[in-house]
Amino acid sequence: MKMRLCLPLACVLLVTGLQADNEVYRTWTDAQGRKLEATFRGIENGNVFLQVRNGYVYRLALDKLSAADQQAAKTLKPEGLGIPSDPNLAQAAAQIDMLVEAGLKKAAQKPNPLASDEQFVRRVFLDLAGRIPTREEALEFINDTSLSKRAKVIDRLLESEGYRSHLFNYFADMLRMADVAQKARFYTYQDWLKGQISGNVPWNKIVQTMMTADGKLLENGATGYLLRDAGMRLDNLSLTLSTFIGANVSCAQCHDHPFADWTQRQFYEMAAFFGATETYGAKGNAGGGMQGVRKVIASLGDRRLQQQAKNLVRVNALAVEDSSTNDLKMPDDYKYPDARPGDLVAPKLITWSDDKTKKAYQGVQTTKHDEQLREQFAKWMTSPDNPRFAMTIANRMWKHIFGLAVKEPVTDLDDPAASVNPALLHHLANEMVRLKFDLKQFLRVLCNTQTYQREATSHELADNTPYLFPGPILRRMTAEQAWDSCATLVVGADVDKFKGHRGDTYAKAMNIDLSGGVSPDVLKGQIENAMASMRQFGGGKAEGKPKNRKKRMMNQTSEEDLTLAPPVRDGLVLARASELPQPEKDQHFLRMFGQSDRQIADSESEEGSIPQVLMLMNGEAQRVIGEKDSLVVKTASAQKTPEQQVESLYLSFFSRKPRADELATAVAGLGNGMTMRDLTWVLFNTREFIFVE
């Protein structure tokens, strides 16, 4: 299909050193005779864009160039695609491209051709906003003739509501965010994280806050990270190390790691940093008030009320507190000679053999105060000097955008040299530090690379062949991308408007003061009030009443205000996945399409199954998309000719116009008794729909 340059020709075009092989350099001269060796990136609004060898892009007024070069600028074909929005960004992107291309060159591979506008717009919407573009959004981009349109759409999407949803979904899978854990609702935790993402709080700050959070879950959502595994600090630590610094320690929890450096003793020494952290039935919080609480509960009429009140108290007791002594002990079955079972463990940080500077360790491990252990750990872990922290999130964000990490799996960065392109991996880590852990800025750089803007790799990778990123890989949509795209087909871009915000409501309803200073009567009043509000949230189910209320509202109002309540069709609540129960119930589209059950970190699945395909063919989603009140059908039906109708559907589903043969087939189908409903079914069930090019 694709024309590739044959090798001899490609060699002619190659410039020595770290240069992109499709770039051609010439010497440009301005009116004063100053010279600049640069490649021509295009001309727009009277400005010429010239990229020098280090990647920096100069913007020069056309009339400042020599007459000959003005002529050249008007006739030359621009190299690469588009103009990045600022010269430094262009340089950052170009540096990544050079490293990728150096890696490819070493393996005698060539990058993929640049992606078409149609491929690009669908991909960048899915990767940054988490859903396909609507027909109008796709057309707006395709019809835009400006050179900087790719950079502009990237900027726009990074500021969109969808960005928050999509990145939340990624982290929700990574952090196993579930509505229900420890028999309480973790809504405040979710809202907290969403707030951090939309505020673009730097990643090191986000993680540090989670590690050091204090207080009640109801009052401080950031405590959700430690409370998710309340009473299981070893499991929690194992996940912390693999998730945030790619230390593959899960084996060392029970025995010395068979391949890597980690010993069981090291694992326990790290765990000792959380040895003074209480997450199990906060003592101090309920403290003196517990007796009063027990009396009030006993005074409640029937057993069911008593049980509810007990639940309420348990939710209020979920808190993180520091005690004054680290009580972590070696396990009862410890079998190595360097310690005895049951020995108290002193905290000690792990080191990496490739870390020569040890900068991150400076100023750590000096405290005599056990209640500060967590802070020390967090400071060390999230330090820009920590040899793995920046690298881990950079590698994860790369995977988020390219479909595969530079070092897989993302939870094991013990040996960066084992990466497919170690130079690239180290560079990405440095970039993350240079950008001060600004994830939005980091993603902006990645999306502006030519590497990202190339066609997806279409061939099957041979076994044992490392993937060197000639372009992004072809990948199936995540469950959330697929669901949000379905909702977009039915509702349009407004699907981004509705936001759940369940944390505030829940905390307000449930929070009671158990500190002991309140009189029994006041306490009783508090408990009864909270129990009344609790009923509003339904028994054990995350959905329930609010949904029904919304449904009623929808039936009453013809004008749908999507900021208040999402539309409901055929039992499906058409809101972004990030605003639905976390995770959804098992038979929901999201779960059947592979949404993580939030029990295992990073466990979103992109695999098919028979029940899943049955759902795609016969479930609610295909029906709702094909109904007359679905936006995609309404828009297509408003077109005059069958040709225009088919084109409209193609733009909605695939962000492209149909090819001639496809148009002919679909139009013939419409003439042969097939309906719009049938066509939407067909397009929905194609591989092209669920895969991201």
Partner 1 sequence: MNLHNQLDPISRRAFCERWASAALGVTVLHSLGGRSFAAEATAAAAPTGPGFGKAKNVIFLQMVGGMTHIDTLDPKDGPTQGPKAPIKTKADFQLGGTMENLAKQADKFSIIRSMTSKTGVHAAGQYVIRTGYEQRGTIKHPNIGAWAQHFLGSSHKTLPSNVCVNRQPQNGNGFFPSSFSPLPILDPDVGLQYAKSEATPDQMVKRLAMLDQLDAGFRDRFKTSEVKSYTQFYDKTISIMSSTDLEAFHLDDEPEALKEKYGKNKFGQGCLLARRLVEKGIRYIEVAKGGWDMHNNIDDGLEEHGAELDVALSALLEDLKERGLLESTLVVLCSEFGRGPKINGNAGRDHHPKVFSTLLAGGGIKGGFIYGSSDKEGMAVADKQTSPQDFLSTIGWSLGLPVDEVVMSPSNRPFTVGDKGKPVMELFA
Query: Restricting to residues 259-278, which ones interact with partner 1 according to CB under 8 A?
Result: 259
Binding flag, residue 526, partner 1 (CB under 8 A)? no
Binding flag, residue 685, partner 1 (CB under 8 A)? yes
Token output for 333? 């079955």
Query: Is residue 641 helix, strand or coil?
Result: coil
Question: Given candidates 607, 641, 660, 671, which one binds partner 1 under the rule CB under 8 A?
Answer: 607
Minimal distance, residue 672 CB to partner 1, in Å? 7
Question: Given candidates 36, 52, 474, 553, which one binds partner 1 under the rule CB under 8 A?
Answer: 474
Binding flag, residue 614, partner 1 (CB under 8 A)? yes
> Are residues 119 and 468 in contact, defined by beta-carbon separation less than 8 angstroms?
no
In 10 A of CB 177, how many CB atoms? 22
Q: Which is nearer to partner 1, 6 or 462 (CB)?
A: 462
Binding flag, residue 88, partner 1 (CB under 8 A)? no
**Distance of alpha carbon 195 from the chain centroid:** 14
Binding flag, residue 662, partner 1 (CB under 8 A)? yes
Report CA Rg, the chain. 28
How big is the site for partner 1, counted in residues (CB under 8 A)? 77
Binding flag, residue 619, partner 1 (CB under 8 A)? yes
Q: Which is nearer to partner 1, 80 or 403 (CB)?
A: 403
Q: Which is nearer to partner 1, 149 or 399 (CB)?
A: 399
Q: Hey, which residues does 454 pair with through a beta bridge?
A: 114
Binding flag, residue 674, partner 1 (CB under 8 A)? yes
Element spanning 457, H or E: none
Please tell me the number of Cα atoms within 13 Å of 622 on its side-chain side.
20
Helices 203-212 and 389-402 pack at an angle, to 10 degrees, of 120
Q: Which is nearer to partner 1, 553 or 674 (CB)?
A: 674
Question: Given candidates 476, 547, 550, 588, which one binds partner 1 under the rule CB under 8 A?
Answer: 476
Q: Which is nearer to partner 1, 130 or 626 (CB)?
A: 626
Q: Which is nearer to partner 1, 19 or 481 (CB)?
A: 481
The label of the residue with tokens 């803007």 reads 453
Minimal distance, residue 234 CB to partner 1, in Å? 10
- Name residues contacting partner 1, limited to 359-418 (CB under 8 A): 404-405, 407-409, 418
Binding flag, residue 233, partner 1 (CB under 8 A)? no
Binding flag, residue 577, partner 1 (CB under 8 A)? no
- Name residues contacting partner 1, limited to 435-464 (CB under 8 A): 456, 458-464
- Name residues contacting partner 1, limited to 185-204 (CB under 8 A): none
Binding flag, residue 251, partner 1 (CB under 8 A)? yes
Binding flag, residue 613, partner 1 (CB under 8 A)? yes
Smallest CA-to-CA distance from 348 within 247, 265, 405 is with 265
Stretch that binds partner 1, among 203-211, 219-227, 278-286, 602-610 (CB under 8 A): 602-610
Stretch that binds partner 1, among 32-40, 106-114, 229-237, 506-514 (CB under 8 A): 229-237
Question: Given candidates 3, 417, 610, 660, which one binds partner 1 under the rule CB under 8 A?
Answer: 610
Binding flag, residue 643, partner 1 (CB under 8 A)? no
Question: Given candidates 285, 419, 450, 526, which one binds partner 1 under the rule CB under 8 A?
Answer: 419
DSSP assignment of 41-86: EEEETTEEEEE-TTS-EEEEEGGGB-HHHHHHHHHSPPSSS---SS
- Name residues contacting partner 1, limited to 121-180 (CB under 8 A): 176
Minimal distance, residue 266 CB to partner 1, in Å? 18
Q: Which is nearer to partner 1, 126 or 435 (CB)?
A: 126
Q: Which is nearer to partner 1, 286 or 616 (CB)?
A: 616
Minimal distance, residue 236 CB to partner 1, in Å? 8
Binding flag, residue 618, partner 1 (CB under 8 A)? yes
Determine the Cα–Cα distance for residues 190 and 171; give it in Å rounded to an integer. 10
Q: Hey, which residues does 39 pair with through a beta bridge?
A: 51
The label of the residue with tokens 């469950």 reads 479
Residue type, 399: K
> Are residues 286 and 278 in contact, defined by beta-carbon separation less than 8 angstroms?
no
Determine the Cα–Cα distance for residues 18 and 100; give it in Å rounded to an integer. 9
Binding flag, residue 471, partner 1 (CB under 8 A)? no
The label of the residue with tokens 């949230």 reads 537
Stretch that binds partner 1, among 34-42, 529-537, 606-614, 629-637 (CB under 8 A): 606-614
Stretch that binds partner 1, among 272-280, 369-377, 470-478, 529-537 (CB under 8 A): 470-478
Question: 139-175 burial by CB neighbour count: b if 16+ within 10 A, else e?
Answer: bebbeeeebbbbbbbbbebbebbbbbbbbbbbbbbbb
Binding flag, residue 426, partner 1 (CB under 8 A)? no
Binding flag, residue 87, partner 1 (CB under 8 A)? no
Binding flag, residue 599, partner 1 (CB under 8 A)? yes
Stretch that binds partner 1, among 233-241, 275-283, 313-321, 374-382 (CB under 8 A): 233-241
- Encode 245-293 in three state secondary structure: HCCCCHHHHCCCCCCCCCCHHHHHHHHHHHCCEECCCCHHHHHHHHHHH
The strands making up 319-322's β-sheet, listed across from edge to edge, are: 215-216, 319-322, 277-278
CA distances from 517 to 216, 312, 510, 546 (A): 17, 18, 18, 35
What sign does the CA torsion over 202, 206, 212, 215 have?
positive
Determine the Cα–Cα distance for residues 218 and 285; give it in Å rounded to an integer. 12
Binding flag, residue 29, partner 1 (CB under 8 A)? no
Question: Given candidates 312, 313, 530, 615, which one binds partner 1 under the rule CB under 8 A?
Answer: 615
Smallest CA-to-CA distance from 326 within 342, 350, 345 is with 345
**Residue 467 DSSP code:** P
Stretch that binds partner 1, among 17-25, 328-336, 548-556, 672-680 (CB under 8 A): 672-680
Q: Which is nearer to partner 1, 502 or 591 (CB)?
A: 591
Determine the Cα–Cα distance for residues 358 and 361; give it in Å rounded to an integer. 6
Minimal distance, residue 437 CB to partner 1, in Å? 25
Question: Given candidates 65, 230, 482, 666, which one binds partner 1 under the rule CB under 8 A?
Answer: 666
Token output for 189? 């935790």
